[in-house]
Amino acid sequence: MATKQTAAKKPASMMTVVAASTSGTAFEWYDFFLFVPLAADIAKMFFAGLDETSSYIFALGAFAVGFAFRPIGALIFGRIGDRIGRKATFLATMSLMGVATFAIGLLPPYSVIGISAPLLFVLLRILQGLALGGEWGGAAIYMIEHVETGKRGFTSAFLGVAAACGFAGALIAVLTARALTGDNFDTWGWRLPFLFSLALLVISIWIRLKLHESPAFQKLVDTNTRSERPYVDSFGNWKSLKTVLIALFALMIAQGAVWYAAFFYTSTFIERTLKTAGATVNLVMLAATALSIPCYIFFGWLSDKIGRKWIMVGGMVLFLAAIFPGFHWMTEAANPALAAASKSAQVTVVADQAKCSFQFDPVGRTQFRSSCDIAKSSLAAAGVSYVNKAAPAGTLAKVMIGSVAVDSVDGKALGGKALAALKADFGKTLKAALTKAGYPAAADPAATHPVRMIAILMLFVLGATALYGPQAACLVELFPVRTRYTAMSFPYHIGTGWVGGFLPTTAFAIVAATGNIYAGLWYPFIFTAISVVVAIIFLPETRGRSLDV
């Protein structure tokens, strides 16, 4: 009788563990991902002292700041998780994330409190980054430490599902807020998805309070074998440091490159570069995200049958093969007029190359004032490819659209509103000339092919889910139990936080420097290619390893 009762309780107990780990993670990702569909509105609210292009670049920089602090959060909360426990740590990280997100919904705009608005916004993004740095590792470890050996890959896939649900939830919340508030969305309706996070926080805490400590960590407590120095034990000797480096270079830099290119950079590329309507972009991304859910589960399940390593390597290789042709196909599907104009009316930037900067600004503090930089950033923001041509030293840059010349402007002596006004006036002049040459101001909805766009996105989604589905199980199996939280979380958030988080700003800088709207794709391509080589040579197969070692 006791055996039957125990057996009856096991499924419910495991369901509670999975539900608590994944639902909390989904809510955390919801909070962090809200930025993506609201980037343009956030730029207007908190960076209104700049021109449209610069405010968007600054907003991307603020987005990247949250990612930059994720490894720090991994170190802070990783140590707590290895010393105090898994459950208490991810309760703390979830609470911090929820409060910071809710506060963004209440933050006054630039027009009300001036420079304090972007500073407070960046501070809240930092708190979000710190929180997420401790969340994912805790949820992954807690869940996998409860799972029987033959089902770890299948179970770990639900963390990928949680990320997809968080992203989908953010898109649905934004679409719902747009529908409910109509013309008021840009003024106050955008706040609703942030404020709604308070309800998600309450639900998450309620679910996670039902949990007990993981059996692997409880065993450490009972035997008094917890790590006294998680940092030293994780990074202070070659054996453990080597495992951290393998995780970072074989898996995590590719994770940051592949996953964020598939779900984030595609979104900004389609909306900002290809000028597709925001509602269309949200619906296309929502469809691709929904279709990704069974893919995570399939690849996680498959990794329990044939192993983790080659499934993840296969996902990376698929991404490498698809990325360049896929983005070209996306241009033709989303904005065929832009693709046609790029072929019929070549654009050239004629400038003194010594005055052209590499416009990488991850924290959004640099103002690019030279005539070359203003011309290039305006073209990059307009989604227009161009070639570079050298001009004599000291020459004012100009943009050639076919045989038509548009002189750029020099803002070296200006700053603030004066510089913003100068850039805005040049942008209007350039836009008029581009329109006359056949470059569309926006994608024609009647010519856009959403179904084709979703099909193209699925190439990237398959690569991303093959890499992410088995990944949590692989990482948990890779690291020893005493330092698992610290040693696993740090490389995870270096890869996803720094490589993935800096992808939009770095890609924009590469596009502005080269003039090719596809040149930014080299950033995720190179990181992924490095991981393929390192994984093949150094990554061990982890399926079936004991979690108590």
The pLDDT tens digits for 55-71 are 666 666 676 777 788 88
Give the burial class of 1: count Cβ atoms within 10 A of its Cβ; 0-12 exposed, 13-18 middle, 19 or more buried: exposed
Q: What is the pLDDT of residue 55?
A: 65
With a CB cutoff of 8 Å and minimum separation 6, the contacts of 40 are 56, 59, 271, 278
Q: What is the pLDDT of residue 6?
A: 40
DSSP per-residue string spanning 149-169:
GGGHHHHHHHHHHHHHHHHHH
- Report residue 389: phi and psi, to 5°: -135, 130
d(C-alpha 274, C-alpha 246), whole Å: 37
Q: What is the pLDDT of residue 148?
A: 84
Q: Which of 243, 473, 227, 433 is nearest to 341 (CA)?
A: 433
- DSSP state, residue 335: -
Alpha-carbon separation of residue 349 from 230, 354, 406, 514 (angstroms): 53, 13, 10, 10
pTM value surpassing 0.85: no
Residues of the chain with pLDDT below 50 are: 1-12, 363
Q: What is the pLDDT of residue 457?
A: 96
Q: What is the pLDDT of residue 453?
A: 96
Q: Which of 540, 428, 430 is nearest to 479 (CA)?
A: 540
What would the two tokens of residue 297 be? Answer: 């589960």
> What sign does the CA torsion over 414, 416, 418, 419 have?
positive
Q: Give the bridge partners for 401, in sequence order.
A: 347, 404
The pLDDT tens digits for 129-183 are 888 888 778 888 888 888 888 899 999 899 888 888 888 888 888 889 988 998 8
Identify whether the C-beta of residue 135 lies closer than 8 Å to the C-beta of residue 94. yes
Q: What is the pLDDT of residue 56?
A: 63
Q: Which stretches does DSSP call E strand in 357-463? A: 387-390, 398-401, 404-407
Q: What 3-state class would DSSP assign to 15?
A: helix
Alpha-carbon torsion, ordered 260, 265, 267, 273, to 10 deg: 180
In the chain, the domains with their CATH numbers are 14-335+445-538 (1.20.1250.20), 339-436 (3.40.30)
Identify whether the C-beta of residue 139 lies closer than 8 Å to the C-beta of residue 25. yes
Q: Which of 453, 163, 464 is nearest to 317 (CA)?
A: 464
- Give the position of tokens 């608005």: 117
Do you know the residue count of the chain? Answer: 549
